Amino acid sequence: MRVGDQQRGESRRQSSLVVAYVALGANLGDAVVALRWAVKALHGLPQTRVHQASSLYKTSPLDTDSGDEARARGADYVNAVVAIETGLSAPDLLAQLQALELLAGRERPYRNAPRTLDLDLLLYGSARIDSVWLTVPHPRMALRAFVLVPLAEIAPGEVSAEQLKAVEHQAIERIEPLMAQTV
């Protein structure tokens, strides 16, 4: 049984592969180890392979949910973005991401709580999805340097100069490559 199948039923097959971008973040435990584990786990998902990964970045926890920026509680985050090719539908991919978060010990005691692993589906091909469970493009990605900077590193065409300028005041530090090379 595949990760998440117990929650959502068998994965529906896509007729072709879609390029999707997934943001990775952690600020509990060894965050670098958690993100490297997540990349391997993503590469092992059905019909999915990781083909590009950004560097790792250190950022302060940030709450952008209200539309106003505020420093959230907790230790600094380690963040990255990966590009994957997948035959999974967007809802099935989301279910797989949530299952991986659970495997990594993710708990959700309150909104913006510190986390062992956070996986967000940013983009799914050119799809626009607005459902109860999933919104793509991710609704807050343009407010977050910890998403835009690593995304621009691996997919510069997905991020505009204006978007980067709007978040340039947010502290973000490149710390090391996530992967030695493309998976």
86-139 residue pLDDT tens: 999 999 999 999 999 999 887 775 666 678 899 999 999 999 989 988 988 888
pLDDT, mean of residues 167-181: 85
Domain limits of the chain?
A: 5-177
The catalytically annotated residue of 68, 106, 108, 144 is 106
CATH classification (class only), 5-177: alpha beta
Known active-site residue 120: yes
Percent of the chain predicted with pLDDT > 90: 61
Q: Is the pLDDT of residue 7 over 80?
A: no
Q: Considering the entire predicted model, what is its pTM?
A: 0.83
End-to-end distance of the chain based on CA atoms, in angstroms? 24
The catalytically annotated residue of 120, 128, 140, 174 is 120
Known active-site residue 130: no
pLDDT, residue 11, reads: 44
Known active-site residue 111: no
Nearest to 122 by CA among 164, 161, 151: 151
pLDDT, mean of residues 37-60: 95
pLDDT, residue 115, reads: 87
pLDDT per position as a tens digit, 11-39: 455 559 999 999 999 999 999 999 999 99
The catalytically annotated residue of 118, 130, 144, 174 is 118
Percent of the chain predicted with pLDDT > 70: 80
Q: Which residue is associated with the tokens 């994957």?
A: 84
> How are the residues of the chain apportioned to helix, strand and coil, as percentages rounded to the nearest 5?
30, 30, 40
Known active-site residue 106: yes
Q: Is the pLDDT of residue 165 over 80?
A: yes
The catalytically annotated residue of 115, 128, 130, 140 is 115
